[in-house]
């Protein structure tokens, strides 16, 4: 099979790496790809926002299967355009991608399907939004409605912060995304990332993971796309996982099908495990980044079989298998991330680190004249397996300490929640 992966992040390197291991993978393209994908696939410099150009490349190069990695092309309807051209595609339709593209859409779906989530109000007017904040009090959560690169959410602990966030949204800080605002009840608990492959009717639950959104140790500083992750998330006990499947994922999938917008691809539920049980924080219509990296390192089944069955509607026939080991990934970012990462610095000592239980996935890297250079905010994902979170973490940080990149930084406490639990048990 000839496969085209869309995207350029660590998630796409991990997907491409897993797909490339399949004996059925004859030829692999990544568009646009990065300095890691080019060592296992052919990087293609086509603008992925130009759907006609993507389809033309796929047709001209005999591509059988297109795998969409990131949210933006999914929300923009690349899946529809690829399928309209008669190609098989892993990724949702534009209509189903509203689950990520519009927070108001997801809230409405939760109401219709009886999915537990934070109480909320939806506002198109600043005055009404401020009045609602005033009535509800802090802490409270303010969200710009559309995609805002993970920056449209303010968890406001005080009334002042909440009012400022509302004003920011309506003053255009997030462009069109802020013209509708969702204001939510503050949920207290521990977060987990839950993934399910969905072919429109059937689902297959994948292992859980836990992300680290804040940029600095101790979960401080601004939100990022994610600074590290591990899988499984110990907070997701078998009982809690079953509740998420039955109370959140399945009713949502059923309701999407009833609406005439069945969801296909991977549904990523951001869950808060509260005292009253699991509640949905948000849906994404793609793998998490960096959660995908830990899932792919643990995956033992053929990734191509799973993605293809999802796209073809034959998920009921496959069984995803994962290693019992823990996987943990640390994001090595360029100094200045998430605000203003420096690009262009050289990174030495990466090639040759990979081993049985260690894999470096590239995100914002490029190769120039044989040198590996930083080309984005999140640059490398050092990903390790271990019998425990502590062991996987030690392996990952050992590898990081062998990389020579003075312009990079990483959190030093990835996995702290799980390690605290492990210490309590011993
Ligand atoms: P989102 O972009 O919706 O995932 O929000 C980003 C982060 O804000 C989440 O990962 C949570 O840590 C936090 N968050 C979002 N909604 C809530 C909520 N209702 N209560 C508490 N924290 C929230
Ligand atoms: N790591 C969180 C996300 O991909 O949205």
What domains does the chain contain, in order, with CATH numbers?
A: 2-91 (3.40.50.20), 125-179 (3.30.1490.20), 190-317 (3.30.470.20), 326-425 (3.90.600.10)
pLDDT of residue 180: 84
Rg (CA), the chain: 21
Query: Is residue 25 helix, strand or coil?
Result: coil
Q: Can you tell me the distance from the alpha carbon of 88 to that of 143, in angstroms, rounded to the nearest whole number?
A: 34
Q: Can you tell me the distance from the alpha carbon of 383 to that of 77, in angstroms, rounded to the nearest whole number?
A: 31
Nearest C-alpha to atom 3 of ligand 2 is from which residue? 288
- Mean pLDDT estimate for the chain: 95
Q: Please answer whether residues 74 and 66 qualify as being in contact, where contact means their C-beta atoms are separated by less than 8 angstroms.
A: no
Residue ranges in the chain whose pLDDT is less than 70: 146-151, 174-178, 426
pLDDT of residue 424: 85
Ligand 1 near 187 CB (within 6 A)? yes
Nearest C-alpha to atom 16 of ligand 1 is from which residue? 281
**Pocket residue to mutate for ligand 1, from 187, 270, 284, 286, most atoms within 8 A of Cβ:** 270
| Centre of ligand 1 from the C-alpha of residue 323, in Å | 30
| Centre of ligand 1 from the C-alpha of residue 191, in Å | 9
Long-range CB contacts (within 8 A, 24+) of 218-225:
218/413, 222/338, 222/339, 223/150, 223/151, 223/153, 223/338, 224/150, 224/333, 224/337, 224/338, 224/377, 224/378, 225/149, 225/150, 225/289, 225/338, 225/377, 225/378
Among candidate residues 203, 406, 207, the one with its CA nearest the CA of residue 313: 203
> What is the 8-class DSSP label of residue 273?
E
Ligand 2 near 291 CB (within 6 A)? yes
CB count within 10 Å of CB 354 equals 14
* Residue partners of 150: CB distance under 8 A and separation at least 6: 213, 223, 224, 225
Ligand having the closest approach to the CA of 194: 2
**Phi, psi angle pair for 254, to nearest 5°:** -60, -45
Nearest C-alpha to atom 19 of ligand 1 is from which residue? 186
Return the percent helix, strand and coil in the chain, to nearest 5.
35, 30, 35
Q: In Å, how far are 141, 179, 222 from 152, measured between CA atoms? A: 10, 11, 12
pLDDT of residue 175: 65
């Amino acid at each position: 099979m000839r496969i085209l992966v869309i995207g350029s992040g660590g998630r796409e390197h991990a997907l491409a790496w897993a797909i490339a291991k399949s004996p059925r993978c004859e030829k692999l393209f990544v568009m646009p790809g990065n300095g890691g994908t080019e060592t296992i696939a052919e990087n293609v410099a086509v603008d992925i926002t130009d759907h006609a150009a993507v389809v033309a490349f796929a047709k001209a190069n005999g591509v059988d299967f297109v795998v969409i990695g990131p949210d933006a092309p999914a929300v923009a309807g690349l899946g529809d355009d690829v399928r309209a051209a008669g190609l098989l595609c892993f990724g949702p339709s534009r209509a189903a991608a509203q689950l990520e593209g519009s927070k108001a859409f997801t809230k409405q779906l939760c109401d219709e399907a009886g999915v537990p989530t934070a109480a909320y109000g939806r506002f198109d007017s600043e005055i009404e939004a401020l009045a609602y904040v005033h009535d509800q009090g802090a802490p409270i959560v303010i969200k710009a409605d559309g995609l805002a690169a993970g920056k449209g959410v303010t968890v406001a602990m005080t009334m002042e912060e909440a009012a400022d966030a509302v004003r920011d949204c309506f003053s255009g800080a997030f462009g069109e995304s802020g013209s509708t605002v969702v204001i939510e009840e503050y949920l207290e608990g521990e977060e987990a990332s839950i993934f399910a492959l969905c072919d429109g009717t059937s689902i297959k639950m994948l292992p859980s993971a836990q992300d680290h959104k804040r940029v600095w140790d101790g979960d401080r500083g601004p939100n990022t796309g994610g600074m590290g992750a591990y899988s499984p998330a110990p907070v997701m006990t078998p009982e809690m996982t079953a509740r998420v499947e039955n109370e959140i994922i399945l009713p949502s999938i059923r309701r999407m099908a009833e609406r005439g917008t069945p969801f296909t691809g991977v549904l990523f539920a951001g869950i808060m495990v509260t005292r009253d049980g699991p509640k949905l924080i948000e849906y994404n219509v793609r793998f998490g980044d960096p959660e995908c990296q830990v899932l792919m390192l643990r995956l033992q089944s053929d990734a191509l079989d799973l993605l293809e069955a999802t796209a073809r509607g034959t998920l009921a026939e496959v069984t995803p298998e994962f290693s019992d080991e823990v996987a943990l990934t640390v994001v090595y970012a360029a100094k200045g991330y998430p605000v203003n990462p420096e690009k262009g610095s050289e990174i030495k000592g990466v090639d040759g680190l990979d081993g049985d239980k260690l894999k470096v996935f590239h995100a914002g890297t490029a190769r120039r004249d044989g040198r590996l250079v930083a080309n984005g905010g999140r640059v490398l994902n050092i990903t390790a397996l271990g019998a425990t979170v502590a062991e996987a973490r030690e392996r990952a940080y050992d590898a990081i300490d062998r990389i020579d990149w003075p312009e990079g930084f990483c959190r030093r406490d990835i996995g702290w929640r799980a390690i605290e639990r492990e210490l309590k048990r011993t």
